[in-house]
Amino acid sequence: MGEDFGEGGPPVPGEGVRQFRPPTAPSIPEVIKEKILTFEEASKCLNTLGKDETGSRYAYLMITATNRKLTDVSIILRFKHVLFLDLSGNYLTTDALTVLTEMPFLILLKAERNRVDSAALKPMPYLQVLALNQNQIKQVGNIDQPLLDCLEMNYNDIYSTEFETANLKQLKQLEMRSNLLFEISGFYPPNLRKLYMAANKITTINSPEFAKLSRLETLHLRENSIQNLDGFSEAQTSLKYLNLRNNKIEKFKEFRKLQCLPNLETLIVTGNPLPGSEVPQMGGEGGGGGVFGEGGKIRDPVVIPLLVLLPKLKRINKTVITMEDRIDAEDMENDVIEALLRDDETAQDTDRETTTTDYKQESDLDG
């Protein structure tokens, strides 16, 4: 859990593939039969021998009871030495998990692919990892886990995040991929280091509290609908990795808004409709600059414009920035800036034309 998948992040199901879904009859609610985990079955699920909480005795520290259609696992309370629980692939509800909050030393709780509709479980004094991927969670709030380090809620139906009432002061990694979020808004745990929000429906970043995340290092926003890059601030001094792959950013000038990030090193923008061909390219003898990089290799056309705007970058998409790239960016700086100014003027002219047309239409209607 919490694995770094590099440029692209974890694979998004069906990415790049047009999926055909034939018409289906209305779904019939599944009948859930009660299935209680017995002591004998739980004993067979024990694994990972190690020292218990006293450090002087050995005990089995983990129970793995996955894909058993369980609805009740309260018997696990009898295994007080267990530190790690994996209950994925069952029929457990939030109430069924709440029983387990009485486990005195639980560190990890993994309950993916169940019927959990809330992450607001009772506080557990030692819980550090909570994985609730592929459940039925719609809203986030009132989570009180004082030592929680990693919270995973990928592939749910979350449309609202309200962390201002949460007690997550130690949370460093938050994952909410493939939900229903339309914007980054509201409050976020103050000590976040990694935030994964790929494959949502995000269009804007509109959160003063997000802009205050001074310890955030990694931000994954791929597979969204972001068009502008408002919402970042100079307070985000730790942000080094930003993944904006497969969004809807059309203008290079948007990346000037990232100049406030003093330590940004890696920027991923593959799959955005950026006009790389509109920016002048150098074509010196010997293939020195422009579309050709070191050794005559074809250079990603967004590298030079982005490097002009954000000269501290060390990696753009799959390109590790070389000294030659930096020299070419310095040589092309004026051309790139002029191109951006032309874009601004064109946008202003378009706005004026739109305003004039709207006024004329209103006058015609008034007449």
Give the angle subtended at the CA of 300 by the CAs of 295 and 304, to the nearest 5°: 90
The answer to whether residue 87 sits within a structural domain is yes
Q: By the 8 A CB rule, do 106 and 88 touch?
A: no
The answer to whether residue 147 sits within a structural domain is yes
The answer to whether residue 94 sits within a structural domain is yes
How many Cα atoms sit within 13 Å of 29 on the Cβ side?
Answer: 3
Rounded to whole angstroms, the Cα distance separating 275 from 105 reads 55
Provide the pLDDT confidence category of residue 30 given band limits of 50, 70 and 90. confident
- Per the structure, the count of domains in the chain is 1
Provide the β-strand partners of residue 58. 51
The answer to whether residue 109 sits within a structural domain is yes
Q: By the 8 A CB rule, do 209 and 22 touch?
A: no
Averaged pLDDT of the chain? 86
CATH of the domain at 95: 3.80.10.10
pTM over 0.85: no
The answer to whether residue 86 sits within a structural domain is yes
Provide the pairing of β-strand 58-64 with 46-51. Answer: antiparallel
Pull the structure tokens for residue 71.
């609805």
> Long-range contact list for 306-311, CB < 8 A, 24+ apart?
306/252, 306/255, 306/267, 306/269, 308/332, 308/333, 308/336, 308/337, 309/252, 309/255, 309/256, 309/258, 309/259, 309/336, 310/255, 310/258, 310/259, 310/264, 310/267
Q: Of the given ranges (36-45, 140-149, 291-300), which has the lowest mean pLDDT?
A: 291-300
The percent of residues above 90 in pLDDT, for the chain, comes to: 69
Q: Of the given ranges (43-52, 92-101, 297-306), which has the lowest mean pLDDT?
A: 297-306
Task: Tell me how long the chain is.
Answer: 367
Return the pLDDT at 271: 95
Asked if residue 276 has pLDDT above 80, the reply is no
Pull the structure tokens for residue 128.
């550090």
Give the angle subtended at the CA of 348 by the CAs of 342 and 352, to the nearest 5°: 145
Provide the pLDDT confidence category of residue 331 given band limits of 50, 70 and 90. very high
Rounded to whole angstroms, the Cα distance separating 153 from 5 reads 17
Q: By the 8 A CB rule, do 147 and 128 touch?
A: yes
Pull the structure tokens for residue 365.
């209607």
The answer to whether residue 299 sits within a structural domain is no
The answer to whether residue 255 sits within a structural domain is no
Pull the structure tokens for residue 183.
């914007």
Q: By the 8 A CB rule, do 108 and 88 touch?
A: no
Return the pLDDT at 42: 98
* Domain region containing 166: 35-171
Return the pLDDT at 9: 54
* Residue 8 Cα to chain centre, angstroms: 11
* More confident site: 293 or 163: 163
**Number of Cβ atoms within 10 Å of the Cβ of 66:** 16
Rounded to whole angstroms, the Cα distance separating 208 from 211 reads 5
